[in-house]
Amino acid sequence: MSKATVNRIVSIDLLRGLVMVIMALDHVRDYFHADVFLYDPTDPEATTIPVFFTRWITHYCAPVFVFLAGTSAWFIHQRKSTRETAVFLLKRGLWLIVVEIVIISFGWLFNPEYPRIGLQVIWAIGVSMIALAALIHLPLRWVGIIGAVLVFGHNALDGIHFESAWWYFLHERGPLEVNGHRFIFAYPVIPWIGTMALGYSFGALYAKEFTAEGRRRMLVRLGLAATLLFMALRFINDYGDPEPWSQQRSAPFTMLSFLNVTKYPPSLLYLLMTLGPAILFLAWSEKLRGWFADAMVVFGRVPFFFYVLHIYLIHALAMLASQLTGFGWEIMVLDRAIWFTEDLIGYGFSLPVVYAVWVGVVLALYPLCAWFNRLKSNNRQWWWLSYL
């Protein structure tokens, strides 16, 4: 492997690790911020600017994670045949769906009866990988075209509503009751499949035919184009997001309304707003080094391991916090979502405490992630590690 290729992979790991760490902030906020039980943090009519941006910055996590999963699949395809890559994506996709239902859902609730099962980002990645296992049999340009059609076109379906599991699966967030278990389709898959397909096509920029400078120019052009297109479409306020922006009580809060795009499912504008700057970061970060970058790379090389551990650790710390503040640990073992739960009004902490807990969680998990990264690097013959 050439030095240039190593640098390129490091930059991808760096971005992935950074968004994973930012994601942990959102989940700490879910369990520790007092206001999380009172209002939507991105609602310009209810929120504050610090709370809004604490939530808004985490919007980058899921799109970048899914997009780079597609890029990683492209790298795998460079080492394996189409059939081998498809089989790997199919198996890993099915595995991630099982993980979401069994391991992640338990981590959110700590309830072995599984009254509520959230089909969230790990589920979306799993389903998208299964779809990509079929798409990679097509020429690369067709994978990109299909991804673009799904991402740019799915908002045309916003006016269509069905109370159907298939519709919740494909396009509209919704619940499904099955034998006492409530499945929440939080991540409808059409735009996520498109995002992963675009990420797979994006991987071609890391082919050996591209020089470092040529690739950087392409990354800058793509990142700027996506960002500027977001700004233009959002300003027009006609297509790309089901929730138009509007004037608020002041100019800063009008800007919050402008930035408050839809995540469930991710609108075209949501994806342009997040992936554009992410691609610009890749253009800037290929030669970025230092202790902070090295730490983020560690997290980026074991994202699944970090994801599972951080949910369990944050939930356990929240149980301890609720016990110490007089609410009792039992209230954190729920048969419902923690958000907007009336029983928890009065529990929680200020935003600075949320940030302190977040830093503590990241620091606590770093040694474990570094150990697991070394384990994977030194034991490539253990095939099952590729699923972790």
Residue 329 has pLDDT above 80, yes or no: yes
Residue 327 has pLDDT above 90, yes or no: no
At 378 the pLDDT is 85
Q: Looking at the 3D structure of the chain, how many domains does it have?
A: 1
Taking only Cα atoms into account, the Rg of the chain, rounded to an integer number of angstroms, comes to 21
* CB neighbour list of residue 268: distance below 8 Å, 6 or more residues apart: 151, 152, 154, 155, 191, 233, 239, 240, 241
Over residues 159-207, the pLDDT tens digits come to 999 999 999 999 999 999 988 888 999 999 999 999 999 999 999 999 9
Residue 7 has pLDDT above 60, yes or no: no
Q: What percent of the chain has pLDDT over 90?
A: 80
What's the CA gap between 198 and 202, in Å, rounded? 6
Q: Which structural domain range is residue 119 located in?
A: 3-387
What's the CA gap between 200 and 258, in Å, rounded? 30
At 5 the pLDDT is 44
* Entry pTM: 0.94
At 334 the pLDDT is 67
What's the CA gap between 305 and 25, in Å, rounded? 17
At 248 the pLDDT is 95
Over residues 57-109, the pLDDT tens digits come to 999 999 999 999 999 999 999 999 999 999 999 999 999 999 999 999 999 98
Higher-pLDDT residue of 86 and 331 is 86
Residue 342 has pLDDT above 70, yes or no: no
The CA-atom distances, in angstroms, between 230 and each of 182, 254, 272, 337, 368 are: 35, 16, 5, 32, 38
At 383 the pLDDT is 76
Confidence of residue 335 (pLDDT cuts 50, 70, 90): low
Q: What is the mean pLDDT of residues 366-386?
A: 88
- Strands 174-178 and 181-185 turn out to be antiparallel
Tokens of 385: 């590690």
Over residues 343-363, the pLDDT tens digits come to 777 888 999 999 999 999 999
Order of strands, sheet of 181-185, starting from the edge strand that comes earlier in the sequence: 116-119, 181-185, 174-178
